[in-house]
């Protein structure tokens, strides 16, 4: 079956969408990505849509779902490279996708992930020199 | 306005929705639409094609290129013989502000085109016409 | 009088082509629409000969005179070329149309002089021929107008681009200073070009400055907000600066929801904010 490849890029996952997706393909991507995040424990996902000439309501909502699911799995999704025509159309459709982070390109997306993941990563023992010990579940 | 070219595409499976997008894109390019206008039309086509497939049980679309002098336009006429829409008013109002997955996409599609016509009766199927002018 | 029945002049035109050609050329040269200053006699003869041949051939293929039919493609193509080149040379649209209209006289004479046709039939032929030639003459005028409209459109586009340039203030910071009254169409075009520039330059911050805009209506305000939202979807942030007090009042009065669109009073404030967002700062040079 046709699938959109998910690549591992260092600590992150990269999905480059280059085909016009029908609904089934989009749902398959959602399933695949969810599983991959879970399996790899990856905390950052970049979805590159710079080659997409159209994003309709179904695909838009798929991205929103993905971001929400990823968040539950402690990962963050950044959608990069949305084209102006696509952005204008989505806004006209009434979809502003508020829960999704976006960046102009993969490079900036990675920088964004780096910053926010550094801010939210739990310190590991001995890391900060003060010997605070395990940041484990509350007693 | 004279129809310069027309094509009929079936909408019976998910792959067909992709073909409708491509067909619409091709006609919009032929009509000389800007990239933004092409995208709006193709997106609207995708919304209605999906409706035709999922809620209408399948149908078809006729894509037409209208040309008279400098005025160019593309019209898509969707038709299905499905259950029809009981409350059109409601369906047109349910854009995406309702947030749930069942929005029929009609309100959104309407905003993306210059002319929008819908004819739907319970038990009598649905006809939707989308038109954009250059 | 259906447009699809035979005009009845096909044979006449092909059999008496040379005679018609001579008559037609004379008519053109004698006409008040003649422009011997713009076209030589030789060239005129050449054009007339070619057109008459195409005309005759088209009649042969489709004697109904429906000029939109594919049989008349060559004729229309010839007239398009003629109209354009004559327009460029300086002919007025009427003078160009006269090229076609002056064909009537020689053809009508030929119809009148054909033995064996009843008067009613002759009348039919004359009438249908006049309709056909009128259509062709008007066609040249339409082509002329189309050309003018294209020029106007191109000039409008250029004016639009010139009047609202997108400027780079710093690495990754663009500014769009808007001046004058904004209408919905203009705002839309300008916004599209801003978004395009954002992608082209990879700018993460765009400042839309409306200091030079006296009033804003609901539609324009909505376009501005849509632009900011679209830019955000693309991964860039917009700041709207230079909102005059009257505009601020209008926005609130109209109930336009700015949501989380960032606004700054002055372009300077917006620029400062943009620099901050890019982790840049301005320091005084110590001597």
Architecture of domain C10-158: Orthogonal Bundle (1.10)
Task: Calculate mean pLDDT across residues C26-34.
Answer: 88
Q: Into how many domains does chain B fold?
A: 1
**DSSP SS3 for C106:** helix
Chain A contact for B25 (CB, 8 A cutoff): yes
In this prediction, residue A138 has a pLDDT band, given cuts at 50, 70 and 90, of very low
CATH number assigned to the domain comprising residue B119: 3.30.565.10
Of the candidates A81, A83, A102, the beta carbon closest to that of C232 is on A102
In this prediction, residue C215 has a pLDDT band, given cuts at 50, 70 and 90, of confident
Which of A24, A82, A93, A94 should we substitute to test contact with B (largest number of B Cβ atoms within 10 Å)?
Answer: A93
Chain B contact for C257 (CB, 8 A cutoff): no
Strand partners, A13: A8, A45
CA distance B110 to C279: 43
Task: Calculate mean pLDDT across residues C7-25.
Answer: 86
Q: State which residues form the domain around B94.
A: 3-133
Closest CA to C57 of C85, C42, C78, C26: C78
Subunit contact B46:A54, Cβ cutoff 8 A:
yes
Task: Calculate mean pLDDT across residues C89-115.
Answer: 89
Subunit contact C234:A82, Cβ cutoff 8 A:
yes
Burial class (CB in 10 A: 0-12, 13-18, 19+), B69: exposed
A105 vs C contacts (CB less than 8 Å): 202, 235
Contacts of C240 (CB under 8 A, 6+ apart): C207, C208, C209, C210, C224, C228, C261, C262, C263, C264, C270
Task: Quote the pLDDT of residue A123.
Answer: 67
Chain C contact for B70 (CB, 8 A cutoff): yes
- Bigger pLDDT: A29 vs C14: A29
Which of A84, A89, A103 should we substitute to test contact with C (largest number of C Cβ atoms within 10 Å)?
Answer: A84
Neighbours of chain C (3+ CB pairs under 8 A): A, B
Task: Calculate mean pLDDT across residues A120-135.
Answer: 57
Task: Calculate mean pLDDT across residues C52-74.
Answer: 88
Task: Calculate mean pLDDT across residues C162-179.
Answer: 88
Q: Do the interacting molecules here have an ipTM over 0.85? A: yes
A54 vs B contacts (CB less than 8 Å): 21, 39, 42-43, 46
Check whether C38 has a pLDDT greater than 90.
Answer: no
Residues C159 and B83: beta-carbon distance below 8 Å: no
Task: Calculate mean pLDDT across residues C209-238.
Answer: 90
In this prediction, residue A132 has a pLDDT band, given cuts at 50, 70 and 90, of very low
Task: Quote the pLDDT of residue B96.
Answer: 42
In this prediction, residue B131 has a pLDDT band, given cuts at 50, 70 and 90, of very high
Subunit contact B96:A95, Cβ cutoff 8 A:
yes
The label of the residue with tokens 């502000």 reads B97
Task: Quote the pLDDT of residue B94.
Answer: 57
Check whether B107 has a pLDDT greater than 70.
Answer: yes
Q: Are strands C167-170 and B71-80 parallel, antiparallel or unpaired?
A: unpaired
Residues C246 and C212: beta-carbon distance below 8 Å: no
Task: Calculate mean pLDDT across residues A52-72.
Answer: 93
Chain B contact for C148 (CB, 8 A cutoff): no
Residue B71: closest CA among chain C residues belongs to which residue?
C146
In this prediction, residue B100 has a pLDDT band, given cuts at 50, 70 and 90, of very low
CATH 1.20.140.10 fits C167-277, yes or no: no
Task: Quote the pLDDT of residue A125.
Answer: 63
The ranges assigned to domains in chain A are 6-119
Most confident of A120-134, B12-26, C256-270: B12-26
pLDDT digits (tens, 9 = 90+) for A65-110: 999 999 999 999 999 999 999 999 999 988 888 889 999 999 999 9
SS3 string, chain B, reads CCEEEEEEEEECCHHHHHHHHHHHHHHHHHCCCCHHHHHHHHHHHHHHHHHHHHCCCCEEEEEEEEEECCEEEEEEEEEECCCCCCCHHHHHHCCCCCCCCCCCCHHHHHHHCCEEEEEECCCCCEEEEEEEEC
Of the candidates B2, B36, B69, the beta carbon closest to that of C142 is on B69
Subunit contact B70:C150, Cβ cutoff 8 A:
yes
The ranges assigned to domains in chain C are 10-158, 167-277
| Backbone CA torsion sign across A80, A86, A88, A94 | negative
Which ranges constitute the DSSP H helices of C31-180?
Answer: 41-61, 73-89, 93-101, 104-112, 119-163
Burial class (CB in 10 A: 0-12, 13-18, 19+), C20: buried
Task: Quote the pLDDT of residue B49.
Answer: 95
Subunit contact C149:B36, Cβ cutoff 8 A:
no
Chain A contact for B26 (CB, 8 A cutoff): no
- pTM tops 0.80, yes or no: no
Subunit contact A87:C234, Cβ cutoff 8 A:
yes
Percent of chain C with pLDDT over 90: 42
C146 vs B contacts (CB less than 8 Å): 69-70
Task: Quote the pLDDT of residue A126.
Answer: 59
Residues C209 and C173: beta-carbon distance below 8 Å: no
Neighbours of chain A (3+ CB pairs under 8 A): B, C
Check whether A128 has a pLDDT greater than 80.
Answer: no
pLDDT digits (tens, 9 = 90+) for C227-280: 999 999 999 999 999 988 888 888 888 887 787 789 999 999 999 999 998 889
Q: Candidates 3.30.750.24, 3.40.50.20, 3.40.50.720, 3.30.70.1230; correct CATH number of A6-119?
A: 3.30.750.24
Subunit contact C146:B69, Cβ cutoff 8 A:
yes
């Amino acid at each position: 079956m046709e699938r959109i490849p998910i690549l591992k890029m260092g600590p992150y996952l990269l999905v480059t969408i280059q085909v016009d997706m029908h609904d089934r393909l989009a749902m398959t991507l959602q399933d695949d990505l969810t599983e991959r995040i879970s399996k790899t424990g990856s905390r950052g996902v970049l979805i590159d849509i710079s080659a997409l000439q159209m994003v309709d309501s179904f695909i838009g909502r798929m991205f929103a779902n993905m971001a929400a699911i990823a968040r539950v799995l402690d990962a963050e999704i950044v959608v990069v490279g949305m084209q102006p025509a696509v952005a204008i159309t989505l806004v006209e459709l009434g979809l502003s996708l508020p829960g999704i982070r976006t960046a102009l390109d993969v490079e900036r997306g990675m920088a964004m992930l780096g910053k926010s993941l550094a801010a939210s990563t739990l310190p590991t023992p001995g890391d900060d020199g003060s010997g605070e010990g395990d940041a484990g579940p509350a007693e | 306005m004279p129809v310069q070219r027309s094509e009929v595409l079936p909408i019976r499976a998910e792959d067909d929705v992709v073909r409708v997008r491509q067909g619409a894109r091709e006609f919009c390019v032929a009509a000389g639409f800007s990239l933004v206008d092409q995208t709006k039309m193709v997106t609207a086509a995708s919304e209605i094609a999906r409706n035709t497939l999922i809620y209408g049980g399948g149908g078809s679309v006729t894509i037409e290129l209208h040309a008279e002098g400098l005025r160019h336009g593309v019209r898509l006429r969707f038709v299905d013989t499905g259950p029809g829409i009981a409350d059109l008013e409601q369906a047109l109002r349910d854009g995406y502000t309702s947030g749930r997955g069942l929005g029929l996409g009609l309100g959104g599609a309407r905003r993306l085109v210059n002319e929008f016509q819908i004819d739907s009766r319970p038990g009598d199927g649905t006809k939707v016409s989308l038109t954009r002018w250059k | 009088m259906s447009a699809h029945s035979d005009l009845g002049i096909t044979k006449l035109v092909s059999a008496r082509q040379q005679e018609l050609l001579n008559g037609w050329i004379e008519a053109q040269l004698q006409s008040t629409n003649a422009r011997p200053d713009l076209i030589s006699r030789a060239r005129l003869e050449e054009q007339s000969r070619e057109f008459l041949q195409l005309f005759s051939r088209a009649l042969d293929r489709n004697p109904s005179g429906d000029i939109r039919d594919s049989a008349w493609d060559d004729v229309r193509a010839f007239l398009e070329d003629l109209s354009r080149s004559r327009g460029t040379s300086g002919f007025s649209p009427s003078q160009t149309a006269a090229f076609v209209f002056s064909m009537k006289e020689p053809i009508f004479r030929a119809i009148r002089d054909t033995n064996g046709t009843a008067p009613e039939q002759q009348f039919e032929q004359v009438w249908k021929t006049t309709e056909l030639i009128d259509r062709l003459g008007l066609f040249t005028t339409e082509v002329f107008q189309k050309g003018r409209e294209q020029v106007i459109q191109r000039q409008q586009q250029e004016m639009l681009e010139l009047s609202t340039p997108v400027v780079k203030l710093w690495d990754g910071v663009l500014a769009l200073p808007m001046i004058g009254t904004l209408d919905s169409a203009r705002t839309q075009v300008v916004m599209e070009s801003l978004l395009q520039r954002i992608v082209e330059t990879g700018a993460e911050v765009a400042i839309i400055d409306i200091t030079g805009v006296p009033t804003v209506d609901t539609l324009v305000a909505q376009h501005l907000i849509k632009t900011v939202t679209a830019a955000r979807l693309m991964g860039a942030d917009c700041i709207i600066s230079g909102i005059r007090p009257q505009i601020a009042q209008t926005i609130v009065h109209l109930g336009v929801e700015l949501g989380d669109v960032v606004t700054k009073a002055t372009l300077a404030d917006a620029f400062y904010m943009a620099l901050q967002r890019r982790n840049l700062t301005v320091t005084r040079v110590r001597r």
